[in-house]
């Protein structure tokens, strides 16, 4: 996790520099929130123009000179496994607490917002004026960890991808896979924000958990 697929016409992302720039920015999305670089997998899938069809129109015209797409079309598909917000509320809360700790932020009793690369978490006391206002104001929505994670993720992902697809038409989506179904070299990875994961970040490789010695 994460696994990114880049489906693109031949002739786009055809050199080392264009691939390296895109991969570097995708990887930074995750290292910025405390995940190890080796977690990030990016695979490029160059396709012939007649294997890319959008709205019933191919990327390149047929031999009879039929219609074709006006610009190259790039399709990104990302799969998230190490961190996703599709699990139960208790797990979501544990992850958000760890994520905030990774970003060097401390919770306080005062209702406030915490911002990170992917996170917008609102902590508020039940019964406070702020809580009542958010609950009773028409057309308002209480912030949730899940919604804020996804909103921040798509915002950051769009910013990272845009410089690399200025001359193209493009689209992306993110799938979420249960963490319980994921292993790295047969090892169940440590949870986000844990001391064990910090060792994986430092070593930039999967270290067997029984080989990790933590200070008391």
Instruction: Examine the domain organization and report whether 137 and 156 are in the same domain.
Output: no
Cis peptide before 140 (omega within 30 of 0): no
Please tell me the total count of domains within the chain.
Answer: 2
Say what the pLDDT of residue 113 is.
35
Same domain? For 64 and 169 the reply is yes
Res 179: pLDDT: 86
Per-residue pLDDT, 86: 56
Taking 80 as the threshold, does the pLDDT of residue 213 lie above it? no
pLDDT value of residue 105? 43
Q: For 79-97, what is each residue's pLDDT tens digit? A: 998 776 555 445 545 555 5
| Residue 43 belongs to domain spanning | 3-84+151-211
Task: Establish if 53 belongs to a structural domain.
Answer: yes
CA distance linking residue 216 with residue 203, whole number of Å: 20
| φ, ψ at 38 (rounded to 5°) | -70, -10
pLDDT number for residue 136:
45
Residue 100 lies in a domain: yes
For residues 35 and 137, state if they share a domain.
no
* Cα–Cα distances in angstroms (integers) from residue 146 to residues 84, 103, 131, 150, in the given order: 9, 18, 19, 6
Closest CA to 80 of 155, 13, 5, 179: 179
At 173-212, the pLDDT tens digits run 999 888 888 999 999 998 888 899 999 999 999 999 888 8
* pLDDT band with cut points at 50, 70 and 90 for residue 25: very high
Is 33 in the same domain as 74?
A: yes
Q: Give the confidence band of 125 by pLDDT, cuts at 50, 70, 90.
A: very low
pTM over 0.75: no
pLDDT in tens, 130-158: 444 444 444 444 445 445 677 888 999 99
**Percentage above 90 pLDDT, the chain:** 51
Which structure tokens are listed for 7?
């489906």
Indicate if 57 and 100 belong to the same structural domain.
no
Same domain, 112 and 31: no
Pull the structure tokens for residue 72.
């190259």
């Amino acid at each position: 996790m994460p696994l990114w697929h880049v489906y693109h016409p031949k002739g786009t992302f055809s050199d080392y520099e264009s691939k390296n720039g895109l991969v570097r920015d995708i990887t930074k999305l995750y290292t910025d929130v405390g995940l190890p670089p080796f977690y990030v997998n990016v695979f490029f899938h160059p396709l012939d123009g007649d294997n890319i069809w959008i709205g019933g129109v191919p990327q390149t015209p047929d031999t009879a000179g039929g219609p074709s797409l006006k610009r190259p079309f790039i399709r990104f598909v990302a799969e998230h496994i190490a961190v996703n917000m599709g699990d139960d509320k208790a797990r979501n809360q544990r992850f958000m607490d760890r994520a905030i700790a990774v970003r060097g932020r401390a919770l306080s009793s005062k209702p406030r917002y915490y911002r990170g690369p992917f996170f917008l978490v609102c902590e508020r006391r039940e019964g406070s004026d702020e809580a009542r206002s958010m609950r009773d104001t028409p057309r308002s929505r209480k912030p949730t960890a899940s919604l804020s994670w996804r909103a921040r993720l798509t915002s950051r992902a769009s910013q990272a991808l845009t410089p690399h697809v200025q001359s193209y038409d493009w689209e992306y989506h993110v799938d979420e896979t249960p963490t319980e179904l994921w292993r790295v070299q047969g090892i169940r990875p440590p949870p986000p924000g844990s001391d064990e994961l910090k060792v994986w970040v430092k070593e930039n490789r999967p270290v067997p958990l029984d080989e990790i010695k933590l200070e008391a």
